[in-house]
Chain A
Amino acid sequence: MAEKKKLSVAEILAAARKADSGGATAASESPATSPADVAPAEPAEVSAEAAVESTPAETPAPTAPKPATTGTPGKRPSVADILAAARQKQAPGAAAPAAKPAAAKPAAKPPGDKPANPAAKPAAGEAAPRGSGVKDTASILAAARGGNKPGPISKAEAAALTKPAAPARTTEKTKLAVPPMPAKPQYAATKPGEKKAVETEERRGFLGAFFGAFMGSFLGLGFSSLAATNALWGLGTARFMFPNVLIEPPSTFKVGPPTDFPPGAVSEKFKAQFGVWVVNGEYNGQQQLYAIRTVCTHLGCTPNWLEGEQKFKCPCHGSGFYKDGVNFEGPAPRPLERYAIRLADDGQLEIDKSKKFQEELGQWRDPSCFVVA
């Protein structure tokens, strides 16, 4: 028996008490669940004899003498009373009180809401311990858990009520779509050996129910169109990432002849458009022309070239770099990066921003990142 919600012992006892006081009427009002209705719904679990056994438990309920509570209907029975009553139920004739939770379930629901099935489940649950002949506290509690909690219910509980109790073994979904099968006669009841065939049928039914619910309903339609829209949107975004025309400066550009950059000068002319300082400076004892990327290696701000102090200084966290781009103060962990530079055929310096050179990786030794001045 599938447990949908966990009830505390206190709740179970309270529920059992209520069921005891109000259950007599509930049982008489409840649609008489015939054994035929109960048995086929649970072919795998409920054996024929168990189903037969469960019926007398329900039918004599209104008239059966209740050991503790009949005298004073309004009074609450003690725990001991409930347990004693439940144990008495072992004798099929006097089984009324413990059957109450089971009988109370259909009564608590609006009529016409699948009356046959939920009633069958608790009955089946009770059938098992009764078959074993022992009725200990744990099994009573388990039985009570399966039953309904009378009185006001929370949303979660209501949801648990309307849901099928054992989704794996039942064909509730199919029942939503098709009218209930006529009761199978005794001789046609499934035998344990035929379990496999039944399962395949259920699986097929499950698939049918699944696609029925998701393709044939407005909910399914909504989600399908949502998925389709999202897919289209994703494709459009992917296309957006590869525009036909790139409106940005070319990654390779010429900055003029080397004579434009006298020794020791830092040219800021190309900072705004290309994000590059062209420097004629000394690195490792060699006078070089190189292009420095204007991005701080700490957190990516744009440093400023301070002519008076002869250093690049970042305004965000105070990182400082020498003219050759090597960091010396503040938190920047590594030198500024260089771009590729070369002397083009027409005598101009050409910078290629698609290639970067990092000093800490030893890439500044690469002759394509400087031009010897």
Chain B
Amino acid sequence: MIAVKDVKRIYKTGETEVNALRGVSLNIEKGEFMSIAGPSGSGKTTLLNLIGCIDKMDEGEISIKDVAVSKMKKKEKTNFRRENLGFIFQTYNLIPVLTAYENVAFVLSLLNLGEKEIKDRTMAILKEVGLQGMEHRRPGKLSGGQQQRVAIARALIKNPEIVLADEPTANLDSDTGKEILGLMKQMNEKHKTTFIFSTHDKMVMDYASRLVMLHDGQIQSDRKRRE
């Protein structure tokens, strides 16, 4: 489903060049629950950003569902992300002036769906992530775990085939982190959505059915866990 082929990414800061990715190749199948792990600076966020079509690579190729996304123009990438990808961020990135309901529904409004459909789907997904009755609360009135549930609902509402999560539990305590991972796993199994998440937390790695370890911008190991 996702083919990453010899991808290189170099960041330039003045005269200094940092090789964030030094020729990474991997294939990801539909429905995988995959973790990209590694220490800080290993390139896991860069790889996630490249798969998520929000960054440009210097060399290599990425194709998703046989579409060479790395060759797409900016506008095409925006459309592709809108229709096919969901994102979960470490700091949730909810819009503070919108309610939980509005934060989730906004993704569907980008797809120009009718109001009734938006309402039905939003209420359903909020119920699914355990936020029934909290639809009208603003992020400031929700706990960190609840905010991340809103973010998960926001990522899943458009039924994307791929959800990318950058350190989704890094801002949560371990119990809440487990809850969130459990929820993500549940969604992965229920909707067959491919989840790719970055982490450097051992507990989070244990949840993944496939673990790709990065070190200095290269794949150190790629292991699938037997269920």
A is bound by B: no
Give me the interface of A with B, judged by CB distance under 8 Å. none
Give me the interface of B with A, judged by CB distance under 8 Å. none
